[in-house]
């Protein structure tokens, strides 16, 4: 795997683990980190069967590094979002294999929305999610205004943005913002087991699931039914489907080939 300065990327057993690695800055996002996440996600999507995004140290990600590039007040936020955040977020959402955010600690501002860009979010119970933007006179970005209303509904999305109060991992799970909150002691082993489960699963089916569900927001029912038929037709021609049916008939676990 490649060597990076602000992240680490490891591949084992079909699982690519991308760790944000600026623990002294609570893994705050700067220009080099955004570029490296984009590159690593693209690379991992070609070589792994599942990608896990997590953080080193006590935080997942504290959001935009306000010291990046000097004076934060003069930062061209529109340029940064268009040229640096958009490619990074699209590398996550467009990744052809499942992406898990393993939120090991606080996820604030753009860091919260970076986590929520993944397909599945698993958080340790001591973690929290904070739309901190209004505290410094900004609005949520990094995809937050798209993801939050769809995940938790209008009322909770608006409250989270306006009041800028922390949402605990347990509360986020109850709201439907994330998949699950896990006790701190079991967290690392739990997300690793979840990642292994997906890495051993039917990769082509997972790719179809991602395409269908992520695209569903833009489709009426007739259009979505057409997409389902097309994608399911392709899945039905795969060796994974043949293996799945055979394993079912033989009453044994399926052994999916994947890529």
Rounded distance between C-alpha atoms, residue 21 and residue 38, angstroms: 15
Confidence check: pLDDT of 258 > 70: no
Query: CA angle, corner 88, sides to 63 and 133, nearest 5?
Result: 25
Considering the domain delimited by 203-249, tell me its CATH architecture.
Orthogonal Bundle (1.10)
Work out the pLDDT band at 201, boundaries 50, 70, 90.
very high
Residues across the chain: 259
- Gyration radius (Cα) of the chain, Å: 19
pLDDT in tens, 57-96: 999 999 999 887 666 666 788 999 999 999 999 999 999 9
The answer to whether the pTM exceeds 0.85 is yes
pLDDT in tens, 20-45: 999 999 999 999 999 999 999 999 99
- Stretch 174-189: mean pLDDT, rounded? 97
Domain boundaries, the chain: 7-199, 203-249
Residue range 7-199, CATH number: 3.90.226.10
pLDDT in tens, 144-154: 999 999 999 99
Q: Percent of the chain at pLDDT above 90?
A: 92
Beta 15-20 vs 7-12: how paired, if at all? antiparallel
User: With contact defined as beta carbons under 8 Å apart, do 111 and 140 qualify?
Assistant: no
- Stretch 193-211: mean pLDDT, rounded? 95
């Amino acid at each position: 795997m490649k060597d990076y300065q602000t992240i680490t990327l490891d591949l084992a057993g079909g699982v690519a683990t991308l760790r944000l690695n600026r623990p002294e800055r609570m893994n705050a996002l700067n220009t080099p980190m955004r570029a490296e996440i984009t590159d690593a996600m693209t690379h991992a999507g070609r070589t792994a069967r599942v990608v896990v995004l997590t953080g080193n140290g006590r935080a997942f990600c504290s959001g935009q590094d306000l010291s990046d590039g000097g004076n934060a007040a003069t930062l061209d936020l529109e340029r940064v979002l268009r040229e640096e955040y958009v490619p990074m977020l699209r590398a996550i959402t467009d990744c052809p294999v499942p992406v898990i955010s393993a939120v090991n600690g606080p996820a604030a501002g753009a860091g919260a929305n970076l986590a929520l860009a993944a397909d599945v979010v698993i958080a340790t119970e001591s973690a929290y999610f904070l739309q901190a933007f209004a505290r410094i006179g900004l609005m949520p970005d990094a995809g937050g205004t798209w993801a939050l209303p769809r995940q938790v509904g209008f009322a909770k999305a608006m409250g989270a943005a306006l009041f800028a109060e922390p949402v605990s991992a347990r509360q986020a799970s109850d709201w439907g913002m994330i998949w699950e909150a896990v006790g701190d002691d079991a967290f690392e082993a739990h997300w690793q087991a979840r990642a292994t489960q997906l890495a051993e699963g039917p990769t082509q089916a997972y790719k179809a699931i991602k395409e269908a569900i992520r695209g569903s927001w833009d489709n009426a029912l007739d259009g979505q039914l057409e997409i389902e038929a097309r994608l399911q037709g392709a899945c039905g021609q795969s060796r994974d489907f043949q293996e799945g049916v055979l394993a079912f008939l033989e009453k044994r676990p399926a052994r999916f080939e994947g890529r």
